[in-house]
Amino acid sequence: MFDSLQERLGTVFEGLKGRGALSEKDVDQALREVRLALLEADVALPVVKQFVADVRERAVGQEVTKSVTPGQQVVKIVHDRLTEMLGGEHAEIELTTEPPTPIMLVGLQGSGKTTSTAKLAKYFQDKQRKKVLMASLDVRRPAAQDQLRTLGAQIGVTVLENVQGEPPKAIAKRAKREATLQGYDIVLLDTAGRLAIDDELMNEIVEVRDAAEPAETLLVADSMTGQDAVTTAQKFHEGVGVTGIVLTRVDGDARGGAALSMRAVTGQPIKMMGTGEKVDALEPFHPERIANRILG
Ligand code: GDP
């Protein structure tokens, strides 16, 4: 993950580490490289600008030219800022004190939403010993319902039966009711996925949200789609108000720009990341570790 950014910054910092003292010109030279590296990593331009400006301000404020190890100083500032930009601390998925906790997953078709629903169910079941119920709200795509049912059977998690003609918001209410009656801890709502965001989809998800009152609205976004994923995140956040992001296909993300931009653009944390096709390929997202990996 993040190979090219890591390599790029690695080269820049090798140069910095080799110098005894840094002039302001050197800092700017380094930051030009950082800027290029981030742009090449597909980080959104306004985010890059903000990042570079922040780092420059901090570097100059710390009188880098007089520092004993100026290269390491700049590396630390870049590292800290990257960690902050990725969200700072790891953000947990919030569970309500009174079960069941409704969690709604939203995202474009193909983003990995249904797979992530099952991965999350398995995660809560295996790692936190929670009793999880899943429900498919994609009434127009029977294939999506079948997929969730198949995954549910695979991981041993119950999937709410779909009733012909029942609208999504009614399914969401029934899922919650069922979860309460049957003593489930968590109810995962896999909302409809479409190839593009339109008003109809957004209205439907808003209705589901109002009916389910989820503790978390998690946006599932494909890291491989770079800037498109960032635009999608922005639209979903404006439309329904997401509380966290599940970043998928991190196993295939060589550039990392989506991860860096997404938090900055939505202001919402990346909580989990998908690292493969298998149902157990889901990990908590740790900003500091990711920043370390980026810097190498
Ligand atoms: P949905 O249309 O958003 O529900 O997407 P799916 O859950 O059906 O996922 C689409 C494809 O992406 C499937 O083939 C998944 O196996 C695959 N997928 C989902 N998450 C990941 C991930 O983190 N890594 C990899 N490599 N593949 C993933």
Residue with tokens 């296909």: 249
pLDDT at 223 over 80: yes
Residue with tokens 């903000």: 50
More confident residue, 69 or 205: 205
Give pLDDT, residue 9: 59
Which ligand 1 atom is at minimum distance from the Cα of 250? 23
pLDDT at 86 over 80: yes
pLDDT at 2 over 50: no
- 117 vs 190: CA distance, rounded Å: 6
Q: Ligand 1 centroid vs 110 CA: distance in angstroms?
A: 6
Q: Which of 113, 115, 150 to mutate to test the pocket of ligand 1 (most atoms within 8 A of CB)?
A: 115
Q: How many CA atoms lie within 13 A of 121 on its CB side?
A: 30
Give pLDDT, residue 233: 92
Which ligand 1 atom is at minimum distance from the Cα of 119? 20
Which ligand 1 atom is at minimum distance from the Cα of 115? 7
More confident residue, 185 or 253: 185
pLDDT at 74 over 70: yes
Mean pLDDT of 116-137: 98
Give per-residue pLDDT as tens, 240-285: 999 999 999 988 865 667 778 888 889 999 999 999 999 999 999 9
pLDDT band at 15 (very low <50, low <70, confident <90, very high): low
* Bridge-based pairing state of the strands 270-274 and 282-284: antiparallel
pLDDT band at 7 (very low <50, low <70, confident <90, very high): low
Q: Which of 25-29, 45-49, 93-97 has the lowest mean pLDDT?
A: 25-29
Q: Which residues pair with 158 in a beta bridge?
A: 133
ipTM score: 0.99
More confident residue, 128 or 19: 128
Which residues line the pocket of ligand 1, CB cutoff 6 A?
Answer: 107, 109-115, 147, 193, 248-249, 251-252, 274-277, 281
Give pLDDT, residue 62: 63
- 223 vs 200: CA distance, rounded Å: 25
Q: Which residues pair with 227 in a beta bridge?
A: none
The single-letter code of the amino acid at 157 is: V
Task: Report H helices in the chain.
Answer: 3-17, 24-40, 45-61, 70-85, 113-128, 142-155, 168-182, 199-212, 226-240, 257-266, 287-295
Residue whose CA is at the smallest distance from ligand 1 atom 11:
112
194 assigned ligand-binding residue: yes
Neighbours of 198 (CB within 10 A): 10
Mean pLDDT of 155-168: 96
Neighbours of 263 (CB within 10 A): 23
Give per-residue pLDDT as tens, 34-69: 888 788 777 888 889 999 999 888 887 666 545 445
pLDDT band at 13 (very low <50, low <70, confident <90, very high): low
Average pLDDT across the chain, whole number: 87
What is the CA angle 291-294-296, rounded to 5? 105
Over the Cα atoms of the chain, what is R_g?
A: 21
284: CB partners within 8 A, 6+ apart: 90, 92, 271, 272, 273
